[in-house]
Structure formats: C-alpha cells, structure tokens
Structure 1
C-alpha cells in the first residue's frame, strides 16, 4: 500500500549528550526532516525562528535545564565594521571569492582535515571521512552554495591555493552560514571573522537584509566572538531582539527556564506549502 508523507513536519528530540560549548552541561536538540517540495519554505520559516540546517535536518537547541544557545543574525543595512574588522579585511585583500553549486572536492576535504586537526581535533567531526564530508556538502534539499576563497595567483598560469570554504544557504531574507573552515596556517588573518564580513558584503550586494551566523553562546569562548559584530540580533523569547549589552544575556539554568517540548512545538509557526 502506498503511503504519503504527512503534510505537517514531525518534530523529534535527541537524547542528551555532553554540551560542546559549556562544560558540565548536556545538550538536547529539537529537530525535523527537511524534504519534499516545501523544503525551501520550511527552511526559510524555521530559520526565522532560530533553527539551523544540517544536511536534510533542521534543528534548534532544546536543552532540559539550559537556554544558553541563542540564534544570532546581523542586520546588514545597520552593520558598521570596527577598526579591528577593517584590519581583517585589509589583511585578506589577496583572497578571491567564487560561489559554486554544492559539490564536494578532494581539495576541499584536504583543507577541511587540516582545519579539524588544528582547531577541533577532539570535536564531534574529528573522525569524519570523505564520504561523510561529501554528504555534509551535497545533501541539501534547499538553495545552497559553496563559497570558496583562494589566494591571488602570483602569475596567470599558477594554481591558486584554496584558503577557505563556507557552505551557505540562500534564504528569502538573507544568507545562512551553515559551516565554514579555513587554512589554519593563516591564523593571524582571522579568517573566521573575514568570512562573516565578506558574507555581509555579499548579502548587501544581493539586497538581502540578514546574515545568519548560527548560535551565540554566552560564556563560551568558541562562540563568544559573534558578539563583536555590530547590528547583531539574537532570537530570545520567541522574537529577534538587538543583543545590546552581551553581559545582560547570562544563561538561565534552573529547571523552569525551559518550556516543555510540547509547548515549544506548539509555538512553531509553519509555512503554508499548499499550491507549491
């Protein structure tokens, strides 16, 4: 007998695992599958509600007793680079950008492995092989681009070295930086910051109002740098608000600080996918 997929997406919760950002805490995610003709609409709608994409899954932190992870985005029209960020742009002025379809290459994987070995050797991706890497890049049911950055060639016939890569979703209202990696030997170039600055410029030229950065986590050294960008908004209490003073967003960790799963799902606003 033929069975069709339900019209409304189904939401699930992962089992608790050690938090990668804050010591001594456990993380749990609320997630749903991203598939079918309505994938783009669902990705757009849930991204505006703090969700992130990983391959064909949309997820949002739903920890039992912690609300530290806050989705962050930059208002492109209001962004002004700081003096240090202007220096980052200057230090990386030798890089050339190209945007391609989501197709994984051995060159990308080699850079990815170097990045992990130097920056995240004990992280959850440390054992990822080339097939898993290809799945991360290529398994996308939405509008996605691979943005590559290469050093300017010394001569017209020389090979430009691949320096950085960002997997980027193109949303109705902005660019979502899904995952990025770069040459660890260029640590003084602050390439992570540079990729964000360049995506702000891409969005500006495309007339898109936001650049989505993923999660900002107060108290986490890994994620705290995002608060250095002006015009930053966070998704808190069911709405996007200006971050203001980052110190005002210390995570609440008592058991009553997080709504029950059923209540969280009931608050999610789903798009109307009828009519294509």
Structure 2
C-alpha cells in the first residue's frame, strides 16, 4: 500500500512536537520544571479617576488616528486637485491614463506641498508644545484647529458656510473663531468641488472642440462607423503636450490656493 507524503503543515506540526518533547526531556533530566507563558486579557476596576481619564484619552486618540485619512482628504487641498485630475482624464478620452495610483500619489504630494505652511504652524504652535508638556491635550486640539480653520475659511464660500450654519441652527459668527468645524468642513468640501468642476469645464472646452472637428471630418468623409475618439485622442495628447499642459495645470492649481 502506497501512502501519500505528509503535507508541509503536518511536517511542521510534527517537527514542533518533536522539538518540544526533546526540550521537555532535557529539562526533566536536569531536574528543572517546564514553565510555559500564559496570556491573560481582562478588565479591572480603576483605582482612581485619572486611570479612567487616561483610558478614554487613549480611545479618543485611536479614533482620531483611524479617521486621519478622511481628515487629510476632506480638510486639505486634496479634493480640488484629485477631482481636477480625474476630469482631465475624462476630457482626454483616456479614463485609465494616467492610472489612479499615479493621480492619487501626485495629488497627495501636491497636497503636502500646498499645506506645508499650515502643517508647520500646527507643528510649532500645537504639536511641539504638547510633546514638551507645555499644553494639555484639549489645548493641543484647539491650537491645531486654528491654522486649519484659517486655511479652510479662505477657500470656503460664504454662501456654502451660511447654508450649513442655517441648517444647524447656529447664530451668525462674530469672528473666525466662532465658526464651528462641524459646519466649516462640509462647506469647505462643497466649495472645493465647485472650484474643481469650474476647472474641469475649462479643461473640457479645447478637447471638446477637437472632438467636434474630428467628428465633422469623419462624417463628411462617410466614415460614420469609425469612432471619433480613436482619431481625436492622438490630437488631444499632442495639443496637451505642445502647450505643456501639466505645467499649466499644476501651476494653476497650486496658485489657486494662494
């Protein structure tokens, strides 16, 4: 009778069992007991209110770290840049070029470049004093929110901000510090989307003209079965390269946050 060879997992388990048996035999011969570590998970009563406060602070910090990607995307220049690049791909007629990974990566690096002065203020006025123990955790969040609030207010339309403050039933703010982040963040996002769509419209116009010209030429030649996109795509790419499109687009996006 032919038996099949043992699987790698079975060989690994057999090897581990033999090793443990050999180790236990050697320790038994030396007279030393074999002690295996134990792991215990549980909850204990807090000895003081400070322990409860510390545990809650850790939970809040972990929650903030979990939401960090969303905070980075929705409170910075990422929305305008990423949407503009996506509309550029559609205007060119090549939805997969450049790939999504390249667009997201370029948008992130441009976001860090644009937000560098704001991040420096957060580091100098909030993070560094907090790490040095000069301010509390609540003061850290307040100081970190000030540069971000100032940046978002500069890019947010008053009409959009008033919409969310009206929905929330908030009074008219007397100054920038009275603007709540719960109303400012969504107002900032829809303002950025509006600006990105305006940029996308300007990007579509020259490429749309090329599509119309190519479609008219093909129709006059009787080539109605030939997709105009196949003919217009090389002309679009040539036009975009000749005018140095990436230089113009990226430069305009960066300067639009000035």
Which bracket does the TM-score occupy, shorter chain normalised?
A: under 0.3
Q: TM-score, normalised by structure 1?
A: 0.21
Q: TM-score, normalised by structure 2?
A: 0.21
Where relative contact order (Cα < 8 A, 6+ residues apart) is larger, the structure is: 1
Q: Which structure shows the bigger proportion of residues in helix conformation?
A: 2
Q: Which structure shows the bigger proportion of residues in strand conformation?
A: 1
